[in-house]
Structures are given as structure tokens and as C-alpha cells.
Chain A
Amino acid sequence: MSQLELLALDLETTGLDPRTDHVLSLGWVPVVRGQVLLAEAHEHRVRPPEGVEVGSSATLHRLTDDALADAAPLTEVLPLLLDALRGRVLLAHHAALEVDFVGAATATAYDARPPLTVVDTLAVEHRLRADVNGEVHGSLRLDAARRAHGLPGYAAHHALTDALAAAELLLAQVADLERRLGREVLLRDLRPRRSG
């Protein structure tokens, strides 16, 4: 952990399927050697392709078509994200969504998927909370997991806030793991996955 660089990422989308749904905003913040660097926090709204409407998902993330009309298209935001990700582990709560959408976007733009190492705070939380039978009691959702670690409550479904929420959650999880393991936490303790 004292060497590790991660990038906490959260996406707001029109839905859950990267083949048919679209990214509406991205928020990210680096976690470098145990510190969340707010100075390098970023949030970008994304203008969906022509003809795509935000639809009912707006009730969740409150991003309306009008609000996104002036935003940059994903092809302009993607290089910034890939730049921020360079040399860093991708961190998200329920990371599959972020991995899928980022993968789909790069496949469209560059015809390739970037090789990513991914840490999922949901998976880490599962590891921390599972009993001997591998069963987990209570919710593993981001706000519930934060509550379980005594972290303050945040408003959900705002990309940067959720990225920050995941970053803080990871710090708390690492402290918890450190206490259990009695040593410094290494990347492998966080059940990283490779993708791309």
C-alpha cells in the first residue's frame, strides 16, 4: 500500500449494458501511497451520441439532456482518463461496470482494450465480511459498506462523489486488513483482477 497508486473511478450511465447504454459522466481521484489526492480529482460530463436520450436514468443521476448538451463527447474525455490511469490500478465499487464501459469505449475508439489491473471495493468488502461459509450478512452497497466502517454518509449517484467514496472506503478497508493480517497490506491482499 505504501507503494501503490490507484485511480478511483465512477461512471454515471444511461443503463447497465455497455453495448446499448452510454456514459454520461466520469469522476476520478487518485489514491497514491495511502493518500487521496483531491488536487487531482476530475469530473467530466459526456455528451451522448446524436439521437441518444438520457431517459429515465436521469431520475438517478439528475443529469438531463439539456445539462449534457454542451459537454464534450466521450472520445475527447477518454484520453484524459487513460492518461490518469497510466501506471495505476483502477479502483471502483462494483468495478465490473466501469471496466466494461471503459473497455467498450476504447474498443470503439482505438480497436483495443487497455490492460488494466482492477481492485473492487465490493470484492474487498466481501472478503472482510464473509463468515466461514462465505456468506455475507447485510448490504455490500457503497453507502452501507461505508457506514460499516464508520465513514460519513455521502449523497450517491454523483460520479466524483462516488469515486471519492470508494477511495475513502478502500483506505478504511486497508486499515482493517492491516489489523487482521498484522502486516502491511499488499496489492494481492486486495484481490486484484486483470482485464483487457
Chain B
Amino acid sequence: MEVELAEVRDFLADHAPFELLPAAELSALPRRCTIRYARRGSVVLEVGDRGDGLYLVRSGAVEVRDETGELVDRVGTGEAFGMSSLLEHRPTRYRCTAVEDTLLLVLEPSAFEELTHAHPDVATFYATTHHARLSRAIGNLQRATSGSTALGTRVGDLVTREPVTTTPTASVRDAAAAMADAGVSCILVVEHLALVGIVTDRDLRNRVLAADLPPDRPVRSVMTPDPVILSADALAFEALLEMVSRDIHHLPVVDDTGRPAGLVTTTDLVRLENANPVYLAAAIGGQTSLADVVAEAPGIHAVLGQLVERDVSAADISRVATALGDAVRRRVVALVEEELVAEGLGPAPVPYSWVVLGSAARDEEGFTADQDHAIVLGAEPDATGAAWFAALADRVTVVLEQCGWPRCPGDVMATNPQWRLTVPQWRALLADWSREPRPDAVLHTAVFHDMRHLAGDRELTEQVHLASVSTASPRLLGHLSRQALSMRPPLGFFRGFVLERHGEHRDTLDIKRPISAVVQLARIHALRSGSPALSTRRRLAAAATAGTIDRDTATELTDALELMSYLRLHHQAAQARSGLTPDNFLRPADLTQRQRRHLRDAFEIVRSAQQSLSSHLPPGFE
């Protein structure tokens, strides 16, 4: 006999999207549910739980919060949660807590699967809800820049104890005794509440014992004065880079008022959970030969692969990728300089800076990036000097190629003497491009506008970068816009995906095009608003603040970029895992139906932003 769970069926029939279902299917659903009750305040789903069904609130209310505790949604009678885990087949990223006594109807995963499979409307309904929550969660994540990775840990959170301190006038003997008592390898020297110096085990060895200094001398005579400090809200990753670049193992942490709050040591950093990226950066920074740097470089892909698996956001992964890339690039430039000195060619003949361009400059590296770099010279070098820079550029480029960064096909590299210029020469060139935007000038403006300091004299980089921000003429903007509009994202999805028709990438979708479209849109809007921001996300935010783009569009483009970058990273991580060279060609067949739908939405967002840009073009550029 057919069992009729009339009350449950009627409840479903009253709420979207079940109202769309034929009566027979609706009547079959209650049997595939269980009923649970959640007391007010109890956690129904925890971050990292694998959802065991679609949760429908029968009565009561549930709050959905992301990993950082930010509210993502509030779910009331007839509404659902837990779909993210079912749609993505991965543990949930939310904590769902009953905020009232709540009666829950839980639909089993296989029933949800069949339902969404048989009824695209139902699938769309839940994908939309999921997407809306995800967008809010991503927004939350970006506000709380700390993110969820170990890299984002604030050094203030690593400080576990009050600092051990002494005064500059105390004797070395007393300071050493205090260190021994506390069992620490480092003591902070404090005068009038301010940090004035630091003394480490190594100082006691080198400056006291080895120097045969009497232990009754004041601490002031052996301390390192004015040590490098970090504020409590600096990131663990920054602490590590600071330590590696200066070859120190202790960094004092100070609070807002400048008072010492504690100490961070290399051990603290290595101990961090999921410390791999940090450890790798340290390993790269510690290499003393180019061959060893080349040997460490493949570790970057391994670390990125882990972050992808841990479902870190694309924005965060790109930042880590760029930071690790920087660690390699900096080390390579420094070691090549040493090599030139060792060969008798001497140090740099004039001050200079090494700049990175393109995705590396925007903090948006992934698994694939060409080398794009240039040199800013502090003064015109003589012929010998020019040869020194040519040698530097050639060797750095060769080593970076060995590390896995292909040469730039457009030859935008410091090896090209055209891109080793003094500040006035750069300024003149940029002004030239702006005045007379020939096709190659438009291309180059786009490349050189994304410029970030890597090594050498930072001041030189800043001067050129600011010149590139301030020299964009309306004509140049018109040309840049036209270029951006030519990067049309595919129209539809499924069959409508515009696929590569020929060659080795047949039947694939080049995800780089729509991503570039967002990058270009953001660059134009940043130029129009005069913002020196580099990352696409920051540029969009800056343009929204300046009013050259409306805030909703900026948010939507940021979300679209996150989604497309996310899919690209997952695609590339899978390729790297199976030993293939990561590329940008997604196979629509590898995407789930939902991912295709999300992708279609992202394309739509890009397209409508492009349309809005085209309506603002200066005359003659339509």
C-alpha cells in the first residue's frame, strides 16, 4: 500500500523549487527524507563536514556563516542549506547554526542528485542560491584579508608569550642570566617603554665570548640597535621574507603604540600549520647557488596544487604563486649579481631596479606565466656598464627559463635593450605611446602599465610606474578600450561555448580570453580613475570608489574573475598532477553542468561590462 506522507508532501509543494515538480515525483520525495530537530544554538553543519543531504527548514531558522565567522545567509521556513557540499561534492565551507529551535527535513544526497539531474529548473534554483552565498562568502574573505591560509596568519597571533626584556644599562651578565632563566635565545632591550635593541645567543657568542668582553659591560655595547620590527598585524609570510632576506632568526613584534609585544622566530613560522608555502619560500631564499634555486622551483607547483586541493580561493592562491615566484626571481637576480662580481665584472655600474610586468606585477600568477620584465636605470651607463646589464638580463632570463617560466614571445624582457631605460627615457616613451597610440604602442602600454618592483632601487620603479598611471590620454584610453572589447567571452554554454576549432586545442575553451577581458576592463577603469593599483581586484575596487564603474559591476566582475580563475587553477592543478604542461584550455566535457552554468553567468557579467564600456567610448572609437 502506498504510504502517503501528506503533511511533508504538502509542505514541499508549498515551497520553491518543489512546486515545479509533477505530483507523482513530489509524493515520492518525503520517503527519501529524514526529520531532525536542532536546538537553538546548536551547530547543524560544521565547516569541513561533508553534507549528508539537502537541509530544508520546516520551522525555525538557521544562520549560514563562512570560515571567518561572517554571516552569509539566514535561512527560514521553506528555505534550504547544505547544497554547496552536494553541488560541489566537497566538504562544506560554511558553519550552519540553528538560531531558533528548528525542525529540519533532510533530503538524502542521491535524491537531490536525481532531482537536479531530471529537473534543470531545480538545479538552477539551488545553484543560484549556492552562488549567491558563495559570492557573499568570497566578499567576506576579501574583507578579512587574513584569509584562511597559514600565510595569512597575523604575526600578532604567533606571539605566545610576553617578551623577555632588559635595559641598555644592565650588565651583559644579568641579561644572559635573564635569558637562561626564561629559556629564550633572544632578549629585547627596552628604554622608556620603547624598543632600542636586541641581543641574541649569537651576539653573546660573537660579541662577548669570542671578543673576550668582560661580562660587566652594559648591554648597550653588545646589542644590535634599532632592530627590524614588525607590527602585530603583519602577515606571517612577510615576517618570513624579512627574516630570510636579512638572515636573521628573531623579529620583535610591536603593538600600535610601538611597545614590544613579543617575538617571532623562524621556528614559530615553520611550525605553522600547512607551512609549506612558507617553508618553500625560506628554502628558495636560502639557496646559495643558481643550480639549487632551479632545483627548488618545481616545488611551487606542488604547493599550489595543495592549495587547490584545500580549496583556497583563487585570489589567495594567485597571491601565494606570485609571492613564491618573487622569492625565486629575487634570489636569481641576487645570485647572478654575485656571479658577475665573482667573475671580476664588478657590481652594478649604476643604481637600477628590476621590475616585473604582466600577471606577476598584478599578483595574479598561476601555474603558467611568461617572463615579462624590464630594467629601470638610475643613470645612463657607459658601454661597459651597458654590457654588464646585458649580461645580468641574459643570465637571469636563462635561469628563470630553467625554473619553468618560458620566455616572453613578444620579447618584453630585460634582455631586449629597448626595455633597459633610464627614468627620463621611460617617461618619454610612455608619453610617446600616449600621444600617438599605434597598435604596438597600445599593446605595450597595457603591458608596461602593470609594473611592480622586484629588486634594486625601489624609487626608480615608483617613478616609472607613476608616470605610466598619469600619462594615459583619452585617445590612448579609447584604443585600450577597443582592444578590451575585442576580447569577447563566449556567448552561450554547452554547445554554444566558443571552442577552438583546429589544432591540438580542438574542442576546448580558452579560459584565458574572458579572464584577460576582465583584466583589461579593470586596467582601463583604473587608468580612468588615476589609480596606481595593480591587482585586478584592487583596480575594480578603486574604480568603484572613484565612481568610474558602479559598485555592483565591480563586485560582479570580481566574482566572475574569481570563478574563472578558480576553474583555471583546478584545471591546471590536475594537469600538473598528471605530469602535463598546464595550459588555459578547459574541456567543457570536464566541467560539471553547474560549473558550465556558473561560467555562462560569468561570461554574461563580462559581456555586459564590456557593453557598458563601449557606450562610454570617446567619439571615433565605437
Contact = CB atoms under 8 A, between A and B. Distances in A.
A150 B30 CA distance: 21
Interface stretch (A14-22, A47-55, A165-173): A165-173
A44 to B, nearest CB: 7
Contact of A171 (B7, B11, B36): B36
A157 to B, nearest CB: 12
Nearest to B58: A152
Interface string B34-47: 11111100000000
A160 B39 contact: no
B1 interface: yes
A43 B2 CA distance: 8
Nearest to A174: B37
A171 B37 contact: yes
Interface in A171-196: 171-172, 174-176, 178-179
A10 to B, nearest CB: 13
B3 A41 contact: yes
Contact of A160 (B5, B33, B34, B59): B5
B616 interface: no
A38 B4 contact: no
A43 B6 CA distance: 12
B31 interface: yes
Given A149-B101, A154-B7, A158-B6, A34 B1 contact: no
Given A175-B39, A178-B39, A150 B7 contact: no
B103 interface: yes
B358 interface: no
Contact of A152 (B1, B34, B103): B103
A35 B1 contact: no
A36 interface: yes
Interface string B4-31: 1111100100000000000000000011
A44 B2 CA distance: 9
A155 interface: yes
A149 B40 CA distance: 12
Contacts of A158: 6
A36 B39 contact: no
A39 interface: yes
Interface residues of B, number: 25
B37 A172 contact: yes
B35 A45 contact: no
Contacts of B33: 38-39
A36 B35 contact: yes
A38 B103 CA distance: 14
B271 interface: no
Interface residues of A, number: 31
Nearest to B98: A175
Given A37-B34, A167-B35, A160 B58 contact: no
A27 B346 CA distance: 93
Interface in A101-156: 149-152, 154-155
B514 interface: no
Contact of B8 (A37, A38, A178, A179): A38
Pick from B1, B32, B100 the residue with the most CB of A within 10 Å. Answer: B1
A39 B100 CA distance: 27
Interface in B401-431: none
Pick from B34, B37, B103 the residue with the most CB of A within 10 Å. Answer: B37
Interface in B267-285: none
B60 interface: yes
Interface of A: 34-39, 41-45, 149-152, 154-155, 158, 160-161, 164-165, 167-168, 171-172, 174-176, 178-179
Given A38-B30, A41-B3, A175-B37, 20 more contacts: A34-B37, A35-B35, A36-B34, A36-B35, A37-B34, A38-B5, A38-B8, A38-B33, A39-B34, A41-B31, A43-B4, A150-B59, A150-B100, A152-B58, A164-B7, A168-B35, A171-B37, A174-B37, A175-B39, A179-B39
Interface of B: 1, 3-8, 11, 30-39, 58-60, 100-101, 103, 106
The 8 A-B pairs at the shortest CB distance, nearest first, are namely A171-B37, A36-B35, A175-B39, A35-B34, A38-B33, A154-B7, A43-B3, A39-B31
